[in-house]
Chains A and B, each alone.
Chain A
Amino acid sequence: MKNSQIAIIIAIAVLVGYTLVRLGNSSTYSSFEDAMALNGEKTTVIGYLDLEDSMDFNPKTVQFAFTAKDKKGNSSRVIYNQPKPQDFERSEEITMTGYATDSAFIATDILMKCPSKYNEQNEVDSDKIYK
């Protein structure tokens, strides 16, 4: 066999190997319920902020607690041991990566989606005019 063919075969084998390894690294988006069932394994939950419940940030312990509802409508208290992100109240969707415990979902990473931030439409209010 030619050298280059051997090289290509090795390379493909490496890629396939890594793809298999990679599957171990991935997780699925889940609900708070699924997260509970995972017994503390890391997972990602997409949800939104429940504004009816309180949002507490204690700067001395750098602990931010809020309540989120997942896509199935279940809510859970979420604890995030990082400073409260800017404009958290305005987020439309929150992607939380972390693990569930008995008392709360501990988020290690939070990504917010604020569509209004980048895609604001000029919504003209017909009642609001210059007098």
Chain B
Amino acid sequence: MEYVGEHLWAANLGRGLTALAFTMALLSTFAYYAKGEDWKRLGRLAFRLHAISLFGLIGTLFFIMANHYFEFDYVWKHTSLDLPARYLFSAFWEGQEGSFLLWMFWNAVLGCILTFTAKSFEGPVVGVFAAVQAFLVSMILGVYVGELHIGYSPFILVRELQDNIGLPWTQFSDYLTRFPNFADGSGLNPLLQNYWMTIHPPTLFLGFASTLVPFSYAVAGLIRKDYKSWINSALIWSFFSVGILGIGILMGGAWAYEALSFGGFWAWDPVENTSLVPWLTMAAGAHLLLIQKNKGGVIPSALFLLILTFLLVLYSTFLTRSGVLGDSSVHAFVDLGLSGQLLIYLLFFTIGSIALLLYRYKGLPKKVKEDRMDSREFWMFIGALTLLISGLQITLSTSYPVFNKLFGPEGLITLYDQDKVLSDPIEHYNAIQVPFAIIIVLLIGVGQFLSYHRTSTQMFFKRQIATLVLTTALTALSAWALDMWNPMYLLLMWTSYYAIVGNLEFLIRWAKGNWNIAGSTVAHVGFGLIIAGALVSNANKDVISQNKTFIHEEFPANENLLIHQGDTVQMGDYWVSWTGQEEEGYYLNYVLEFFEEQGDELVPTFNLKPRIQLNERMGNVAEPSTKHFVGRDIYTHVTYADLRTIEEKGEEEWKNQFDLELSQGESHFLYGKYQVQLDTMVVEAPARSEGEFDYIVLGAGLQITTMDDSIYKVMPIYAVQGDEANHVDAEIEELGLKFRFERINYETNKPVITASEHAEAEEPFILIKAEVFPWINLLWLGSILMAMGTIIAMVTRIRRS
């Protein structure tokens, strides 16, 4: 059957290019590993053809997404007609298939660069790239071998999906125009409609891709039994990797802080953890390469760390994409059923590279002479080891879901009969990682005062007197200013200040514009600032939206503040007023005006607009709004807002019923805005005979005083005759209030009056949460410095070589 309106050419082109990219990657792998110059040239040609077909396939996918060809499953799932063009990139890598393509794109780019720069190492280095690419392309092949499917193609049509084959609607040749489902796509998750999503993933994936370069050099070195000539190239690339991966991870943190209401920049989520760990091990590996270059003797550990880093990237890929994380992460990918394939990919490179390392281990050059305890290289080695241990701890704790799969109740070998889980992950990681951080920043500081080979004790102390004094003074000052006395935190603060001050001093006194040594120093100052900023802003985070009226102190509920529209309430040092909301495209912006007390007056200082993104299809999402000052940030988000219209709220016209029991002259404060007083009681009870009443009519004279001192008087009536009771309700239309004389409480002899509020009179309100993050700018400043420092270090090394 010929279907009408399908763009089959795009499907064929895309799948054809996928197949070509796959075969070329395979061919390139074999050719590069075959002996001979001709084979090498063939390998190079095949790799470049692979890259070209990959770029073509990415272009095709972009084209069908930009043109909204909704017969394609990927296009339908990730775009919609109203998706602004600037989010096309975000939509492209929202799904697994697209993010695999992004990763492959960078691998291809880096691989092509290496075909020019790797020189004599081109064969084994780019050969590893080609093999990795073959595995990655297989993830989007979308080929069925019997029941088994290999990869999931982004070019699959909706009607070709396994679940849809044979369904009645696929029998219509004009299904695209016949069924409204194909008129528009499902759209991009509103959480991802953000400019961070445009720049964060490409940077992070470039970081992931870059870990492959040092890995390939390490493998190439092992194959050739050459442990010397590639060290410098690998060193430059590993610093590139540390820089880019670091920026990518921090961008993720900035995104979470700026645009997601997770309440901070780091939440120890498995997805965050598994991208941090390769950074830690890569930083360790890069420093070992430095030792190797300057002093030598650490080849086995350096090889191990470079290999481990790439394997951890693969493990991270496996965790976030196989569906294993399921319950424990908020942002793992949707499971595409590729876990088997991902596992093969992981095991192939793990077993292959580790086996190669073990096979060659005996012949590896070892240390001739032991390092002295007063040498720089010894402490750099300890630092690298600490980074590795820190990374392994995070990996172990993040792997709980994997352990559950292996050893849990439904696992391969049942060792425990209930799945295990971390009860408080944030506290768990903070408690364990703080000591590691203390060691790292301490070593960063100490390192600057040590020399390779040996350091004289006298010089060591003499050089850093100023630093020690300044660090201690700064720590004391900060602790006093922030009222922060936790000993562990103080230690971390002292050590991170030590790293910052020590490196700054070195930069000013010794480096003096000497770019050759400035790079690492700037990067280390940056790292110290990141740790200091993270510590100070998190440990002293202050929730200022305290709801003091209603709740028990122990409940975290008092971290949300209720504001009625038009009301002005106190929040920390400010007074805040919610004036209303503005509609802006998909967004409802809640305008919060902040005032400062100056004498007796409230002076407007700034406005914040936390927002809620309205999205019928995927649900509403709250986005924070933050006021940035130099020394602190004020971070707010709307934690609850009633988005229903009057009709949706239901037929209930009167609500918030409240029973008042008053004796004469007594008053009650009602709904937080009215003073209700029982003025008089009127009784009419004509006596029939001998103490019996024909009927009783009771009236309660109420006086209602509003906030602006206007007074209303009403009298609800309660009448009883025989067994029958009647009520005549009293209503104050202007206020939307109603009173019913419900009954007499015979125990207390007081009238029971039920007040209720008209649905429309109930003033709209929102709940907001506001937090102050002090000195979080140190963190961002540190991030920039670390990135700059790494780039300087890299460029100076390229220049020198």
**Is the Cβ of A44 less than 8 Å from the Cβ of B371?**
no
Q: Does B177 contact A (CB under 8 A)?
A: yes
B186 close to chain A: CB less than 8 A: yes
Interface residues of B in 382-436 (CB under 8 A from A): 382, 385-386, 388-389, 392-393, 396-397, 400, 416, 418-424, 427-428, 432
The reply to whether A82 and B158 contact each other, CB–CB distance below 8 Å, is no
Residue from the list A60, A108, A117 in contact with B618, Cβ < 8 A: A117
Interface of B is mostly: mixed
Choice from A46, A84, A113, A124 contacting B640 with Cβ under 8 Å: A84
| Distance between A14 CB and nearest chain B CB, rounded to angstroms | 6
On whether the beta carbons of B378 and A128 are closer than 8 Å, the reply is no
Interface of A: prevailing SS: mixed
- CB-contact partner of A83 in B168, B330, B419, B560, under 8 A: B560
Bitwise, A10-38 to B at CB < 8 A (1) or not (0) is 01001100110110011111100000000
Q: Which of B175, B381, B640 has the most CB of A within 10 A?
A: B640
Report B-chain residues with C-beta under 8 Å of the C-beta of A26.
400, 420-423
CA distance A124 to B157 in the complex (A): 13
Please indicate the chain A residues that have their CB under 8 angstroms from the CB of B423 in the complex. Answer: 25-27, 42-44, 97
Given A18-B432, A26-B423, A83-B767 in contact, is the A4-B370 Cβ separation under 8 Å? yes
Assess the B373–A3 pair: CB atoms within 8 A: yes
Partner of B619, one of A29, A90, A111: A90
Interface residues of B in 171-192 (CB under 8 A from A): 175, 177-182, 186, 189
Partner of A2, one of B186, B327, B370: B370
User: Which of the 9-residue segments B199-207, B515-523, B547-555, B774-782 touches chain A?
Assistant: B547-555
Inter-chain contact A25/B428, CB cutoff 8 Å: yes
- B707 beta carbon closer than 8 Å to chain A: no
Q: Is B617 among interface residues, defined by CB-CB distance under 8 A?
A: yes
Beta-carbon nearest neighbor of B329 in chain A: A111
B258 — which chain A residues lie within 8 A by C-beta? none
Residues of A within 8 A of B145 (CB): none
> Could you say which of B189, B418, B622 contacts A30, with CB atoms under 8 Å apart?
B418
- Residue A119 is within 8 A (CB to CB) of chain B in the complex: yes
The answer to whether the Cβ of A75 comes within 8 Å of any Cβ in the partner chain is no
B179 and A129 contacting across the interface, CB-CB below 8 Å: yes
Contact with A along B48-73 (1 / 0, CB 8 A): 00000000000000000000000001
When the two chains form their complex, are residues B389 and A117 in contact, meaning their CB atoms are under 8 A apart?
no
Q: Tell me whether A62 and B327 are in contact (CB under 8 A).
A: no
Q: Are B385 and A7 in contact (CB under 8 A)?
A: yes
Which of chain A's residues have a CB closer than 8 A to the CB of B373? 3
Please name all residues of chain B whose beta carbon is closer than 8 Å to the beta carbon of A4 when the two chains form the complex.
367, 370-371, 378, 381
| Beta-carbon contact of B547 and A28 below 8 Å | no
Evaluate contact between B422 and A122: CB separation under 8 angstroms: no
Residue of B nearest to A108 (CB): B556
Q: Check A63 against B557 for contact (C-beta < 8 Å).
A: yes
Q: In the bound complex, do residue A27 and residue B421 qualify as a contact, i.e. CB atoms below 8 Å apart?
A: yes
Q: Are the C-beta atoms of B432 and A22 separated by less than 8 Å?
A: yes
Considering the complex, give the chain B residue whose CB is closest to the CB of A116. Answer: B618
Are the CB atoms of B547 and A86 closer together than 8 Å?
A: no
Q: How far is the CA of A126 from the CA of B163 in the complex (A)?
A: 14
Q: Is the CB of A28 within 8 A of B397?
A: no
Q: Give B140-167 interface residues, CB cut-off 8 Å to A.
A: 158, 161, 163-164, 167
Q: Which residues of A contact B440 (CB under 8 A)?
A: none
A123 to B73, CA, bound (A): 11
Q: Give bound CA distance, A87 to B191, whole Å.
A: 14
A18→B619 contact, CB < 8 A: no
In the complex, chain A residues whose CB is within 8 Å of the CB of B186: 120, 122
Residues B167 and A124 in contact, CB atoms below 8 Å apart: yes
Instruction: State how many angstroms separate the Cβ of A5 from the closest Cβ of chain B.
Output: 9
Q: A3-B370, A25-B428 are in contact. Are A122 and B560 (CB under 8 A)?
A: no
Q: Contacts A59-B562, A62-B557 known; A11 to B386 CB distance under 8 Å? A: yes
Given the complex of chains A and B, what is the CA–CA distance between A57 and B560 in angstroms?
Answer: 14
Judge if B169 is at the interface, Cβ distance under 8 Å.
Answer: yes
**Is B621 in contact with chain A by the CB < 8 A criterion?**
yes
B169 contact set on A, CB distance < 8 A: 124, 126
Taking a contact as CB atoms under 8 Å apart, the answer to whether B560 and A62 are in contact is yes
Contact check, B381 vs A59: say whether CB atoms are below 8 A apart. Answer: no
Which residue of A is nearest B375, CB measured? A3
CB of B419, distance to nearest CB on chain A (Å): 5
Q: How far is the CB of A99 from chain B (nearest CB, A)?
A: 10
| A28 contacts B392, C-beta separation under 8 Å | no
Query: How far is B422's CA from A95's CA once the two chains are assembled, in angstroms?
Result: 12
Who on chain B is nearest to A120 by CB?
A: B186
Residues of B contacting A21 in the complex (Cβ-Cβ under 8 angstroms): 432
**A22-B397, A111-B330 known; A59-B640 Cβ under 8 A:** yes
Chain A positions within 8 Å of B587 at CB level: none
A29-B419 in contact (CB<8A)? yes
Q: Is the CB of B421 within 8 A of A29?
A: yes
* Contact yes or no, A81 B181, CB < 8 A: no
Q: Indicate whether A62 sits within 8 Å of B421 (C-beta atoms), given known contacts A86-B619, A111-B330.
A: no
For residue B640, which residues in chain A have a CB less than 8 angstroms away from its CB? 57, 59, 62, 83-84
Would B557 and A3 count as touching, CB distance under 8 A? no
A19 cross-chain contacts in B, Cβ below 8 A: 396
Asked if A104 is at the interface (CB within 8 A of a chain B CB), the reply is: no
Picked from B418, B422, B562, the residue with its CB within 8 Å of the CB of A60 is B562
Closest chain-B Cβ to A45's Cβ sits at a distance in Å of: 10
Cross-chain contact of B557 among A81, A87, A120 (Cβ < 8 A): A81
Across the interface, which residues of A come within 8 angstroms of B538, CB to CB? none
- Tell me whether B381 and A118 are in contact (CB under 8 A): no
Q: Which of A36-95 contact B (CB under 8 A)?
A: 42-44, 46, 57, 59-63, 81-84, 86-87, 90, 93, 95
A8 nearest CB neighbor, chain B only: B385
**How far does the Cβ of B503 sit from chain A's closest Cβ, in whole Å?**
24
A4 CA / B300 CA spacing, docked (Å) = 12
Cα of A86 to Cα of B544 in the assembled complex, Å: 23
**Chain A residue, CB-CB nearest to B422:** A26
A130 to B371, CA, bound (A): 80
Measured between alpha carbons, how far is A11 from B334 in the docked complex, in Å? 37
On chain B, the residues within 8 Å of A3 by CB distance are 370-371, 373, 378
- Please list the 4 inter-chain residue pairs (A to B) with the smallest Cβ-Cβ separation, ordered nearest first: A81-B557, A83-B640, A87-B619, A62-B557
In the assembled complex, 9 residue pairs joining A and B whose CB atoms fall closer than 8 Å, in A order, are A4-B371, A4-B381, A18-B432, A29-B420, A29-B421, A82-B639, A86-B619, A128-B179, A130-B177
Given contacts A3-B370, A113-B327, 17 further A-B contacts (CB under 8 A): A4-B371, A7-B381, A15-B392, A26-B421, A27-B420, A29-B420, A44-B423, A46-B327, A61-B557, A62-B547, A82-B556, A87-B619, A122-B181, A126-B168, A126-B179, A128-B179, A130-B178
Interface residues of B (CB under 8 A from A): 73, 76-77, 158, 161, 163-164, 167-169, 175, 177-182, 186, 189, 326-327, 330, 334, 367, 370-371, 373, 378, 381-382, 385-386, 388-389, 392-393, 396-397, 400, 416, 418-424, 427-428, 432, 547, 550-551, 555-558, 560, 562, 617-622, 639-640, 642, 765, 767
What is the interface of chain A, defined by CB distance below 8 A to chain B?
2-4, 7-8, 11, 14-15, 18-19, 21-22, 25-30, 42-44, 46, 57, 59-63, 81-84, 86-87, 90, 93, 95, 97, 108, 111, 113-115, 117-126, 128-130
